[in-house]
Amino acid sequence: MTRARRPPLGRSLLRLFTVQGSWNYERLQGIGVGVAEEPLLRDLRAGENGAAYRAAVARGAHFFNAHPYLCGLAVGAAARAEHEGATPEQVERLRSALCGPLGSLGDRLVWAGWLPVTSALALIGVALGLGLDAVIGFLVVYNVGHVGLRWWALWAGWTHGVRVAVALHQPLLQRAAAWSGPAMALAVGMALPLSAGYLGGAFTGWAREVLAVATAAGCALLWWGRGRLTGLRYGLALLAVAALVGWLWR
Amino acid sequence: MSLELQLVLLLWGTLVGLDLVSVPQMMIARPIVAGPIAGAMLGDLGAGLQLGVLFELFQYDVLPMGATRYPEYGPATVAAVSAAHGAAGALGLGLGALVGLVTAMLGGLSMYIVRRATARAVHAVTDRLEAGDARLLVRLHVSAIARDALRAAAVTAAGLGFAHLVRLFLAGTLPLRGVTLLGIAAVAAALAAATAGTLRVVGRGASLAWFVAGVLGGTVLVWLR
Percent of chain A with pLDDT over 70: 97
Q: Which of B63, B101, B141 has the CB atom closest to A235's CB atom?
A: B101
What is d(CA B178, CA A206) in angstroms, rounded to the nearest whole number? 14
CB-based contacts of A148: which residues, under 8 Å, 6+ apart? Answer: none
pTM of this structure: 0.93
Return residues 132-161 of A near B (CB < 8 Å).
132, 135, 138-139, 142-143, 146
- Residue A2 in domain: no
Is the link from the previous residue into B24 a cis peptide, with omega within 30 of 0? yes
Taking 60 as the threshold, does the pLDDT of residue A4 lie above it? no
Distance spanning both ends of chain B, measured CA to CA: 36
Return residues 10-39 of A near B (CB < 8 Å).
17-18, 20-28, 31-32, 34-35, 38
Taking residues A133-154, report their average pLDDT.
97
The ipTM is 0.94
Query: pLDDT at position A184, please?
Result: 96
Tell me: do A177 and A193 sit in the same domain.
Answer: yes
* Other CB atoms within 10 Å distance of the CB of residue A1: 6
What is d(CA B32, CA B57) in angstroms, rounded to the nearest whole number? 9
- Residue A186 in domain: yes
- Confirm or reject contact between A242 and chain B (CB < 8 A): yes
Q: Where in the sequence is the domain holding A226, given as residue range(s)?
A: 204-250
Taking 70 as the threshold, does the pLDDT of residue A1 lie above it? no
B115–A25: do the CB atoms touch at under 8 Å? Answer: yes
How many CA atoms within 13 Å lie on the side-chain side of A161? 10
Residue of chain A whose alpha carbon sits nearest to that of B135: A35
Output the CA–CA distances (angstroms, integers) from residue A58 to A43, A90, A239, B55, B104, in the order listed. Answer: 15, 15, 50, 41, 36
pLDDT tens column, A58-107: 999 999 999 999 999 999 999 999 999 899 999 999 999 999 999 999 99
- Confirm or reject contact between A126 and chain B (CB < 8 A): yes
Closest CA to B189 of A21, A152, A231, A209: A231
B165, burial (CB in 10 Å: exposed 0-12, middle 13-18, buried 19+): exposed
Output the CA–CA distances (angstroms, integers) from residue A169 to A61, A113, A115, A231, B22, in the order listed. Answer: 27, 18, 22, 36, 29
Taking 70 as the threshold, does the pLDDT of residue A2 lie above it? no
8 Å CB contact between A35 and B137: yes
B89-124 and B45-59 helices, crossing angle to 10°: 60
Give kind and range of the element (H or E) at residue A59.
Answer: helix A51-60
For an interface test with A, the pick among B12, B25, B95, B139 (most A C-beta atoms closer than 10 Å) comes out as B25
Tell me: do A242 and A127 sit in the same domain.
Answer: no
Tell me: do A96 and A212 sit in the same domain.
Answer: no
What is d(CA A162, CA A73) in angstroms, rounded to the nearest whole number? 11
Output the CA–CA distances (angstroms, integers) from residue A170 to A103, A164, B53, in the order listed. Answer: 17, 11, 36
Q: What is the mean pLDDT of each run of 10 residues along chain B (225 residues)?
A: 92 97 95 97 95 97 77 96 86 93 96 95 94 95 97 98 92 83 95 95 90 96 91
pLDDT tens column, A177-233: 889 999 999 999 999 999 999 999 878 889 999 999 999 999 999 999 887 899 999
* Other CB atoms within 10 Å distance of the CB of residue B7: 11
Query: pLDDT at position B1, please?
Result: 78
Query: pLDDT at position B68, please?
Result: 75
Tell me: do A174 and A238 sit in the same domain.
Answer: no
* Other CB atoms within 10 Å distance of the CB of residue B155: 28
Q: Which of B57, B102, B192 has the CB atom closest to A219's CB atom?
A: B192
B189–A214: do the CB atoms touch at under 8 Å? Answer: yes
Tell me: do A210 and A90 sit in the same domain.
Answer: no
Query: pLDDT at position B171, please?
Result: 80
Closest CA to A173 of A153, A157, A190, A187: A153
What is d(CA A76, CA B51) in angstroms, rounded to the nearest whole number? 41
- Residue A131 in domain: yes
Closest CA to A106 of A33, A177, A179, A18: A177
Q: Which of B40, B132, B210 has the CB atom closest to A55's CB atom?
A: B132
* Other CB atoms within 10 Å distance of the CB of residue A103: 18
- Residue A4 in domain: no
- Residue A228 in domain: yes
8 Å CB contact between B27 and A142: yes
Taking residues A152-180, report their average pLDDT.
91
Tell me: do A183 and A211 sit in the same domain.
Answer: no
- Residue A182 in domain: yes
Apex B218 CA angle, B215 and B219, nearest 5 = 85
A17–B93: do the CB atoms touch at under 8 Å? Answer: no
8 Å CB contact between B51 and B80: yes
Tell me: do A74 and A154 sit in the same domain.
Answer: yes
Tell me: do A158 and A226 sit in the same domain.
Answer: no
Tell me: do A21 and A112 sit in the same domain.
Answer: yes
Give kind and range of the element (H or E) at residue B194.
Answer: helix B176-202
- Confirm or reject contact between A192 and chain B (CB < 8 A): yes
Q: Partners of A28 in the beta sheet?
A: A24, A64
- CA dihedral B12→B17→B23→B24, nearest 10 degrees, is 70
Percent of chain A with pLDDT over 90: 78
A211–B187: do the CB atoms touch at under 8 Å? Answer: yes
8 Å CB contact between B108 and B68: no
B173, burial (CB in 10 Å: exposed 0-12, middle 13-18, buried 19+): exposed
Tell me: do A230 and A197 sit in the same domain.
Answer: no
Query: pLDDT at position B218, please?
Result: 96
* Other CB atoms within 10 Å distance of the CB of residue B121: 17
Higher pLDDT, A248 or A188: A188
Q: Which of B137, B193, B214 has the CB atom closest to A235's CB atom?
A: B193
Where does a domain end: A170, A186, A202? A202
Q: Which of B144, B188, B212 has the CB atom closest to A211's CB atom?
A: B188
What is d(CA B207, CA B225) in angstroms, rounded to the nearest whole number? 27
- Residue A163 in domain: yes
- Residue A187 in domain: yes
Apex B161 CA angle, B160 and B167, nearest 5 = 85
Output the CA–CA distances (angstroms, integers) from residue A181 to A124, A177, B107, in the order listed. Answer: 18, 7, 29
Tell me: do A59 and A180 sit in the same domain.
Answer: yes
Query: pLDDT at position A5, please?
Result: 62
8 Å CB contact between B55 and B99: no
Tell me: do A110 and A221 sit in the same domain.
Answer: no
